[in-house]
Amino acid sequence: MTKASIFLGKIKLGWCTSCNLPLLDETPCGICGNNAEKIQVSPPGDFRPSFSKDLERIRKVIDEQYGETVGRKLIPDDKIVLLNKVSYSDHMDEVIIDGRVVGNIRFNPYSKSWQFVPKIIGARRLWQAGCSKWIKVDKGAVEPIIKGANILGPGVTDCSEDIQEGDQVIVVSPNNEVIATGTAKRNATDILMKIKGIVVKPREYGAPGDTFILRGGQNWEDVVDANKEILRKYEKDAIDFIHKVCKSYNKPVTVAFSGGKDSLVTLLLTLKALGKNFWILFVDTGVEFRETVDYTHNVVKELGLAEKLLERKVNPDTFWRLSEKFGPPGRDYRICCKSVKLGPTSLLIEENFPDGCLTFIGQRRYESEARAREKKVSVNPWVSKQVSATPIQDWTALHVWLYIFQQKVPYNPLYNKGFIRIGCWPCPASKLAEFEMLREEYPENWEKLRNVLEKWRREYNFPKEWIDYGFWRWKNLPEGQFKLIEELKITQNIKRRPLTKEKLRFKIEEVPPTLKEKEYSLKVVFNCTFDMEQIANFSNILGKVKYLPELGFIQIEMDDSICKIFKEGNFTVIAKSPGNAKKICKNVASIIIRAMRCLGCGSCIPWYGSCNAFSLKEGKLRIIESRCTHCSSCLEAPCTALYANT
């Protein structure tokens, strides 16, 4: 279930064992001056603080597994606890305390529950805290186990009575020293019978050692003080970058704000670099948490930037209309991003900065492989009039959080509720763990999403596991999900969503030659009837349009070609060559899909340059016929409807 580790950049974390504080970039401690000790953690190394809800969850899980009060003994109140997100089939964090990884807290997609998986140093601390789930072996088994051997039935002398198969257990020697931790392959009753075979498969093992418990009493202000010099350097580098980019691009300056930690730091840095000489872009997608919208308004007001906020509110029904028409969005089917985020962002920029703008965004390489590959300055094809620049590209989450703590600026309260990412709450990029948090904290939101998914589950004839285990988050399931399907013994084919009646499909048929020489004809047949008024309007893109609504007929006259569109759901093209006929067929089919499935997201409008022939009317794109020059260049514009119809 564990994925291969991913390196997205240098792992920037050390530890001052004297002050018992984490240090960024393994720099000397800003309090005592001691050098940082390098700690062994897994990539990518995007460390973050453990907030109150995180600590509550970790302690609760430890108590459930190893006995009441054990969680607080392992994770006390007076120490700094870091979480490091690592590769796994769902969500998993390394839990770091005293400069050591004491274990992993993970959401098991099979059981849909949280588990604590102790490292051997964590197992030693659990044993010292008086935990259950232990197995004691005889003297002869100690040496082989220390070298990595499985724990076998005949070598066991005793165990706690609460062990069940699959539990995370601790293996101790006759001298009560922890020598291994791993997964129980039998329950306590069978273990004590000393039946031959494997009792525990070790995950970690080694000779008895120190628990390495350091003094407590630290807080996050101490962590900021210990890292003040490195924070000053990162701030300076980011501000220098902002100045440099502003000089390179003679455009109005904006900051993209989402309500999350990264965009907050980007906003603070831009404010320090430029004063109030910039604007803030915020898109309320209609599926934001209420806290995020309220927080955005509050924080910009607190920073004295309320008059600088440019906000676009997306109709709250847009996401759901999109899902109703095309099915649920997916990680490999990001129709929602195009319609409720990128499209409205394009419109916001078009309305306020028709010649484009420079936007500083809170993007970091440690977030994902895709973002690690991104350049620090780039242009998104879906937001063509925006030049994006990333001043915190090389920051880890801990750099971000310490900067927020240092600046003493309020952050989104959702982080205190245990949410890891801030964004649209139905996002298919979320882990199962995050949807479990959504179900617990916002049951009405979860039920709304579940009802939509249930409709499509029935449409696709999928089992209930399609919703329960998050398979809906892909249009075509990746290989990594097949093991879960096998484990759940799902026999129905859910690897790919079937086609639905909402998809527009067409086939091209050759038409017998006409009596005229050098003419070539093609007929294209769709699987639906046409919305002729909308198609007639869009057809202006290609040429002169003649529309006879009483006959259900549209004719498009182009240079040396003619297209005839019929309400029944087909059109014919007459052209001078096969190549030209096929090209026109492709363009007309594109126009029909755009017209029939237009969602009014506006992502295409900024592509139209200075022609000024497009407007949004009643939630749909409309072409102003008197202004259209039939240049057809707008066929290259991105379109959510086309994207969704693939």
Q: What is the pLDDT of residue 382?
A: 79
Per-residue pLDDT of 600-644, as tens digits, reads 777 677 666 556 777 776 667 788 888 887 787 777 777 777 777
**Span(s) in the chain for CATH 3.10.400.20:** 13-205
d(CA 373, CA 146): 42
d(CA 398, CA 11): 11
Fold topology of 13-205: Sulfate adenylyltransferase (3.10.400)
d(CA 484, CA 388): 38
User: Which CATH architecture group holds 227-416?
Assistant: 3-Layer(aba) Sandwich (3.40)
Task: Single out the residue of 150, 75, 125 nearest to residue 105, CA to CA.
Answer: 75
User: Which CATH architecture group holds 506-644?
Assistant: 2-Layer Sandwich (3.30)
The burial of 72, by beta-carbon neighbours within 10 Å (0-12 exposed, 13-18 middle, 19 or more buried), is given as middle
Q: What is the pLDDT of residue 620?
A: 73
d(CA 441, CA 418): 10
What is the DSSP annotation of 283-343? EE-SSS-HHHHHHHHHHHHHTT-GGGEEEEEPPTTHHHHHHHHH---BTTB-HHHIIIIIH
**Span(s) in the chain for CATH 3.30.310.10:** 506-644
Q: What is the pLDDT of residue 517?
A: 58
Across all residues in the chain, what is the average pLDDT? 91
- Residue ranges of alpha helices (H) inside 394-544 are 397-407, 432-441, 443-460, 465-468, 482-487, 532-538
Q: What is the mean pLDDT of residues 586-606?
A: 83
Contact 344, 601 (CB under 8 A): yes
Per-residue pLDDT of 119-139, as tens digits, reads 999 999 999 999 999 999 999
Max CA-CA distance within the chain?
A: 101
Residue 154: is its pLDDT beyond 80? yes
Amino acid, res. 467:
I
Contact 230, 170 (CB under 8 A): no
What phi-psi label fits residue 539: left (phi over 0), alpha (psi between -120 and 50 degrees) or beta? alpha
Model pTM score: 0.89
Q: What percent of the chain has pLDDT over 70?
A: 94
**Span(s) in the chain for CATH 3.40.50.620:** 227-416
Q: What is the pLDDT of residue 22?
A: 97
The DSSP symbol for 617 reads E
Per-residue pLDDT of 347-362, as tens digits, reads 899 899 989 999 999 9
